[in-house]
Structure 1
Amino acid sequence: MFQAYTPEELKKALEKAGYEVKPLGRGSLKGIPFEEGGGFRVSYDGDGYLQYHPETNSHHGEAYYKTSSGRTGTKRYNLNGDEKND
């Protein structure tokens, strides 16, 4: 799914779908709006969480998406949609 969107397109699609898209809540990019170089996060379906983290200050060497839920655990994906195992 992630390969179908740029981070900008995904953020706009989430907002259009009615999700509350917020800046990252932790780390060096905490509170920095996406439009100013920060990432974004969205909560969904109770305990679901989606995060986009730009390459800036990334511990994972590149920009990535992170998903998390009680059912699936935490997973990270590069911008091509490939799961990262780091």
Structure 2
Amino acid sequence: MFQAYTPEGLKKALEKAGYEVKPLGRGSLKGIPFEEGGGFRVSYDGDGYLQYHPETNSHHGEAYYKTSSGRTGTKRYNLNGDEKND
């Protein structure tokens, strides 16, 4: 799914779908809007969480998406949509 979107395109699609898209809540990019170089996060379906983290200050070597839920656990994906195993 992620390969179909740029980070900006995904953010816009989430907002259009009615999700509350917020800046990252932790780390060095905490509170910095996406438009100013920060990432974004969205909560969904109770315990679901989606995050975009830009390459800036990434501990994973590149920009990535992170998903998390009680059912699936935490997974990270590069911008091509490939799951990262780090």
TM range, smaller chain: over 0.9
Shift of 1:74: 0.1
Deviation at 1:19, TM superposition (A): 0.0
TM superposition shift of 1:85: 0.2
Q: CA deviation at 1:40?
A: 0.0
Residues paired across the two proteins, number: 86
CA distance in 2, matches of 1:53, 1:3: 15
Where does residue 5 of structure 2 map in the other structure? 5
CA drift at 1:49:
0.0
Q: CA deviation at 1:36?
A: 0.0
TM-score of the superposition, structure 1-length normalised? 1.00
Task: Name stretches of at least 5 consecutive residues in structure 2 with no aligned partner.
Answer: none
What corresponds to 2:69 in structure 1? 69
Task: Name the counterpart of 1:43.
Answer: 43
Aligned equivalent of 1:58: 58
Q: Percent identity?
A: 99
CA distance in 2, matches of 1:50, 1:25: 12
